[in-house]
Chain A
Amino acid sequence: GAGVSQSPSNKVTEKGKDVELRCDPISGHTALYWYRQRLGQGLEFLIYFQGNSAPDKSGLPSDRFSAERTGGSVSTLTIQRTQQEDSAVYLCASSSYLQVASTDTQYFGPGTRLTVL
């Protein structure tokens, strides 16, 4: 497709289970970003990838959160031992840039709504 896609669109899980969220960026976009949006709140930066590497992991809330990107394309955000506070919409975005600093426009996917019971 032409835009950023994310799957699943909705995920309901039980506390303590692991979940994997997937993001397919726009073809050719070298940068990929993950954000978390809690209900009624703004976006919270989690991590970004430049190619397959993640220069900045400072936004990950805890060591239960990890992300990887392979082949410079698809990215997976994994949350281990989920907690109720992890419930949120997880948004992925991609952008195209050639320099170290990401200053290009980010195009967002529809998000994955995670509910931890």
Chain B
Amino acid sequence: AQKVTQAQTEISVVEKEDVTLDCVYETRDTTYYLFWYKQPPSGELVFLIRRNSFDEQNEISGRYSWNFQKSTSSFNFTITASQVVDSAVYFCALSEVNTNAGKSTFGDGTTLTVKP
């Protein structure tokens, strides 16, 4: 069965600090996709990144970076120089290709609060 674990329920940082959100997943598939979504207080989920299981290169997009390590089944998300607008709930998700095609499993989310 597929499972996504976001062990950090809540994180609070002060503006300009760096913060890493952890994501650990379980899957029997060899082909899968991993996602991160942001859910601001307005409630609408916003796509941040998709990574396929064959591409372990780290990715950087502005202040956001992602570290994918298959050996530890982790897909961690780092925000550099955090800002108040980064305050939101962040979800990590997994989509399998073969055994549960079409079904996405989400973690319980990490609530990030960035204080000025």
Contact = CB atoms under 8 A, between A and B. Distances in A.
Contacts of B95: 102-103
B107 to A, nearest CB: 6
Interface string B17-56: 0000000000000000101010000011111001010000
Given A45-B105, A103-B33, A103-B95, A56 B43 contact: no
Contact of A102 (B47, B102, B105, B108): B102
B102 A48 contact: yes
A101 B44 contact: no
B103 A105 contact: no
Given A42-B109, A48-B102, A102-B102, A108 B44 contact: yes
Contact of B35 (A55, A105, A111): A105
A87 interface: no
A108 B108 CA distance: 17
Contacts of A50: 102
A109 B97 contact: no
Given A35-B106, A43-B91, A110-B44, 15 more contacts: A31-B102, A33-B104, A42-B108, A42-B109, A43-B93, A45-B104, A50-B102, A56-B101, A58-B103, A91-B45, A93-B45, A100-B101, A102-B101, A108-B37, A111-B43
Interface of B: 33, 35, 37, 43-47, 50, 52, 91, 93, 95-98, 100-109
30 contacts: A33-B102, A33-B104, A35-B106, A41-B109, A42-B91, A42-B106, A42-B107, A42-B108, A42-B109, A43-B93, A43-B106, A56-B101, A56-B102, A59-B103, A91-B45, A101-B98, A101-B101, A102-B101, A103-B52, A103-B97, A105-B47, A105-B50, A106-B35, A107-B47, A108-B37, A108-B44, A108-B46, A108-B47, A109-B44, A111-B44
